[in-house]
Amino acid sequence: MKIYAPFAGIVHYHVAAGDVITTGQKLASVEATKLEAAVIAPGPGVVVELSVADFGDVVGGQALVELADSSEPATLVGRGSK
């Protein structure tokens, strides 16, 4: 499952590839002028890929994180780093 940026801004990750995450966990935040939005995990899983470098520019709707079901084996790919 891919998680997307809510709007254009700067992304800051709170997780790294390989992290096991829980429902409601903060994955990242996206900041724009006087505005910040948390990017929250919709369900449990494993972070497979960070699609943009930490503190990189993103546009609204751009993929930020790819999650895999924690019960499935995942091949980790990481461009971003924490």
Q: In what order do the strands lie in the sheet with 26-32?
A: 35-40, 26-32, 9-13, 57-58
Q: What does the pLDDT look like over 11-42, one tens digit per residue?
A: 999 999 999 999 999 999 999 998 999 999 99
Identity of the amino acid at 57: D
Cβ atoms of 69 and 45 within 8 Å: the answer is yes
Q: Record the pTM.
A: 0.83
The rounded distance, in Å, linking the Cα atoms of 7 and 64 is 11
Confidence of residue 75 (pLDDT cuts 50, 70, 90): low
Spell out the residues 6+ positions from residue 73 whose beta carbon is closer than 8 angstroms to its own.
none
Q: What is the pLDDT of residue 82?
A: 44
CA angle at 16 for the pair 12 and 17, rounded to the nearest 5°: 130
